[in-house]
Amino acid sequence: MQATEKDELIEQLEATISRYWGFSKLRPLQEAAIKSVLAGEDSLVVLPTGGGKSLCYQAPAVMRGDTTVVVSPLISLMKDQVDGLRACGISAMQYNSSQTASERSAVESEILKGNVRLLFVSPERLVGTDFHRLLRQIKVSTFAIDEAHCISHWGHDFRPEYRQLRLLRDSFPGVSVHAYTATATEQVREDIIQQLGLKNPVVLVGNFDRPNLTYRVHSRRDLLKQVLEVAGRHSNEAGIVYCIRRKEVDELTATLKKNKVNAMAYHAGLTAEERSQTQEAFLSEQCDLIVATVAFGMGIDRSNVRFVLHTGMPKSLEHYQQETGRAGRDGLEAECTLLYSGSDVLLWKSIMEKSSMEQSEDTTFFDRSMDHLNEMSRYSRGAVCRHRALVEYFGQTFDGENCAACDICLGETVSVDGADTIAQKILSCVARVKAAFGAGHIISVLRGENTEGVRKWHHDQLSTFGLLKEHDKADIRDWIDQLVGQGALEHEDRLLDSGLRVPVIRLNAGSWKVMRKETSVRLLRPMRRPKGESKSRDTTNSLPLDVDEKVLFEELRALRRLIAQEKKCQPYMVFNDATLRELARVRPSGLQKMLKIHGIGQTKLQEFGDRFGTLVYDHARAHGLKLDNFSIDSAPSRSAQRQSPSPAPTQPENKMALKERKECIRKLFKDGTSIDDVMKETELSRTTCAEHLCAFIREEAPTSIHAWVDESTYDKVVAAANTVGIARLKPIYVQLAESVPYEEIRVVLEHFQTVQAKF
């Protein structure tokens, strides 16, 4: 292809994605992937969640005007993809068992007329029926296999029906086949190519790192407290809490509801209707917190999930990458927290053994599953950068010393002084009790606890009794887990004469190397704050907007929900959070200028532009805000900060001015100055002053706020909040007949929550 032809192709590509998707540029791997489709070559594309895989097969179908067949594993996922494409003005349809005969007949008619650009089908429908005859009539030229890791025995979500897709080569010998997935090791990639019979495929593998995600791994100590702490950091934001077992889902959901958290449960034990209701509530933003088994997620296309919390260790790093990948798909910051315990390994081993016996006598699958589990265990107990560990597991190198986005690199853990000595004491104790006891008993001995179990075995007479009495139980348990993760100890299931299996800790070759001082270990513990130091609210994952922009952002979200209800579609299909954030920051003054906003194409501009544009314009005028801030780049995300040079430092006098103004506002509120008077004194907007007051309340926790909100209004807001909940301000505003300003509602809720937290 000559240079001029390449230039024309790129121009055509960019024009297509700008018109339908509202994107100005393609990412490098997207461009290469699209070119392989247009050239009729086979390809395997591995891009992390949020990396834009779907565009790689959607854009060529729109450009060429023919039909691309997309193989998708879930009907719910098909529906979301079809609805999303139609919202962009693209002809897309699904063909599956959930449809009636007349509905399928209508789809077939549209296919034969050549009116369908993207057709979504299940693997069973494609190769298990005579549907392929219809596709031959329209001379389909491209097949896109989504979630392609499902075809591999080595993958984390193997599905036997995907193996049948190799038949496409026999039925459509001249058609190009393209495989897409978010998580695939080199071994899985090779298996995908072999199983699909890809011919000299173009293999494109993106960076497995997700720099917009903050990874945290903590020992599971007080589950409810830890869950509430993470959820509290993301008030009014979407999150998924994963549990290993259904029982845990139900129990945690019930407990969260008792704590006034609007959570819903999802697992395979619920009826199809119950699961559908939960999924719909989450996608439509009626509920922001889902507690689920891993059965929830693959069919979920909500882009603004701000946190994913695992209450137990997943069974593989592939699963972990896939599940945490559901956070921050819009490219904005999100948090992924894993709570683990040594018992998780034993639980998964038991589940895997049972599954292996039920499915096959071949032990290969069980051995492979255990390898995955052990890798996951090492990650959970590890003391290295979480981003580095994940990237290197998938065969890539991690650039940089500090990711600035995990508990290790953020300094949330500290290295323990004398780690080798502590490790030797723990290992010595395991040796003294003859490797016949679990972690709990070993901890009791090391701490010198006078328990019945310790006395029964005369372990209060051991030389290791009380060697670590100055340390907390939780810390010692963490260190035992870390030693297991570093290969200096092992967990083992021991079968007693009674037939009962019990977990024990035992020594291995690595243990003796530590005791002989041939190797060193690193032990970590959580960073502890000095007594009296308040724990500030974690804003790591908050949207990087200033006070006025946050208010407009929430108003735009409310409008998005309203339009989604009217259109009977999901809110993200209108605009995602990244687009709303840019609208709130830039505040374009007209429709044509809205086209410069990432994610706004011609179709959505025509359908939604007037309403969003009017809201932005009216808000800006009402609050005295500048329009068309195109010269101001969106606030850099953490990923941009890691990949770009550091910005020039702010002038010292500007920093001082900001600090002095903040102190001035704080003093005014401390003196009981009203919001209106603070506005006059500082020339700030009412919204900004209210936000400063909320910050003052969080820090000072005053017993009363009647200097700013009268007692009657306070009581009315609290009563309304108890009726409709505190997830959003709008329902409270409506409940109060729109008689109380948003600023006062926000201030009351801030004080009410602060007082509750204090007591």
Average pLDDT of the chain is 84
Q: Give percent of the chain above pLDDT 70.
A: 87
Rounded CA gap, 350 and 210, in Å? 32
Quick one: pLDDT band at residue 514, thresholds 50, 70, 90?
Answer: very high
Give residue limits of the domains in the chain: 3-205, 213-412, 416-526, 547-643, 652-758
Predicted pLDDT at 132: 81
Beta bridge partners of 308: 240, 336
pLDDT, mean of residues 310-331: 91
The residue-averaged pLDDT of 392-413 equals 87
What pLDDT is recorded for position 401? Answer: 79
Percentage of residues in the chain with pLDDT exceeding 90?
Answer: 37
pLDDT at 213: 94
The pLDDT tens digits for 629-641 are: 886 544 444 444 4
Residues contacting 546, CB < 8 A, separation 6+: none
Question: Residue 753 has what pLDDT?
Answer: 78
Which range is most confident: 428-437, 564-573, 735-744? 428-437
Question: Confidence class of residue 497 from pLDDT cuts 50, 70 and 90?
Answer: low
Q: Residues of 511-546 as b/e, b for ≥16 C-beta within 10 angstroms?
A: beebbeeeeebebbbeeeeeeeeeeeeeeebebbbe
Alpha-carbon gap, residue 488 to 467, rounded angstroms: 19
The fold for domain 547-643 equals DNA polymerase; domain 1 (1.10.150)
Structure tokens belonging to residue 728: 């959003």
Least confident of 139-148, 407-416, 570-579, 651-660: 651-660
Same fold? 3-205, 213-412: yes
Burial pattern 327-366, b for ≥16 Cβ within 10 A else e, equals bbbbbbbbbbbbbbbbebbbebbeebeeebeeeeeeeeeb
Burial of 104 (0-12, 13-18, 19+ CB in 10 A): middle
Instruction: Name the 3-class secondary structure at 575.
Output: coil
* Mean pLDDT score, 703-732: 83
Specify which of 94-108, 151-165, 539-553 reaches the highest per-range mean pLDDT.
94-108
Helix ranges, 472-589 (H): 473-485, 509-515, 547-567, 577-586
With cut-offs at 50, 70 and 90, classify the pLDDT of residue 272. confident
CATH fold of the domain at 3-205: Rossmann fold (3.40.50)
Q: Write the pLDDT tens digit of every residue in 182-230.
A: 888 888 899 999 999 999 999 999 888 999 999 999 989 899 999 999 9
With 50 as the cut, is the pLDDT of residue 648 above it? no
Listed residue (81, 139, 79, 135) closest to 108, CA to CA: 135
Model confidence band, residue 644 (pLDDT cutoffs 50, 70, 90):
very low
pTM: 0.70
**Which tens digits make up the pLDDT trace of 54-76?**
999 999 999 988 999 999 887 77
pLDDT digit string (tens) for 365-400? 777 888 888 889 889 888 789 999 999 888 888 887
Give me the phi and psi of 716, to 5 degrees please: -65, -40
Phi and psi (nearest 5°) for 585? -85, -50
Q: Which of 225-239, 466-480, 624-638 shows the lowest per-residue confidence on average (mean pLDDT)?
A: 624-638
Rg (CA), the chain: 29
Q: What is the pLDDT of residue 637?
A: 46
CATH of 213-412, one of 1.10.3720.10, 3.40.50.300, 2.60.120.680, 1.10.8.60: 3.40.50.300
- CB of 306 within 8 A of CB of 327? yes
The pLDDT, as a whole number, for residue 636 is 42
**CATH number belonging to the domain at 416-526, selected among 1.10.10.10, 3.50.50.60, 2.60.40.10, 3.40.630.30:** 1.10.10.10
Classify each residue of 625-660 as buried b or exposed e, where b means 16 or more C-beta atoms within 10 Å of its C-beta.
beeebeeeebeebbbeebeeeeeeeeeeeeeeeeee
* Cβ atoms of 427 and 486 closer than 8 Å: no
**pLDDT tier, 18 (very low <50, low <70, confident <90, very high otherwise):** confident
Closest to 344 measured CA to CA, from 305, 377, 317: 377
Q: Are 126 and 136 in contact (CB under 8 A)?
A: no
Q: H-helix or E-strand containing 8? A: helix 3-20
SS (H, E, C) 387-449: HHHHHHHCCCCCCCCCCCCECCCCCCEEECCCHHHHHHHHHHHHHHCCCCCCHHHHHHHHCCC
Asked whether the predicted pLDDT for residue 533 surpasses 80, the reply is no
Looking at per-residue pLDDT, the higher value among 61 and 654 belongs to 61
Angle between helices 386-393 and 364-381 (to 10 degrees): 160
Confidence of residue 531 (pLDDT cuts 50, 70, 90): very low
Q: Residue 411: what are its φ and ψ, rounded to 5°?
A: 75, 25
Give the range among 142-151, 283-292, 611-620, 721-730 with minimum mean pLDDT. 721-730
Assigned token pair, 187? 């071994």
pLDDT (average), residues 412-433: 93
pLDDT score of 653 more than 70: no
- At residue 661, the pLDDT reads 67
Is residue 659's pLDDT more than 70? no
- On the question of pLDDT at 52 being above 80, the answer is yes
Could you read off the pLDDT of 579-608 as tens digits, one per residue? 999 999 999 988 889 998 988 988 899 889
Query: Among residues 484, 496, 151, which one has the least CA distance to residue 344?
Result: 484
- Neighbour tally for 471: CB within 10 Å: 17
The lowest-confidence range among 71-80, 115-124, 561-570 is 71-80
DSSP track, 677-727: HHHHHHT--HHHHHHHHHHHHHHH--S--TTTS-HHHHHHHHHHHHHH-SS
Whether 643 has a pLDDT exceeding 60, the answer reads: no
Is the pLDDT at 642 greater than 60, yes or no? no
Encoded tokens for 121: 């089908």
What pLDDT does 185 receive? 83
pLDDT level of residue 6 (50, 70, 90 thresholds): low
Lowest mean pLDDT among 407-416, 498-507, 605-614: 498-507
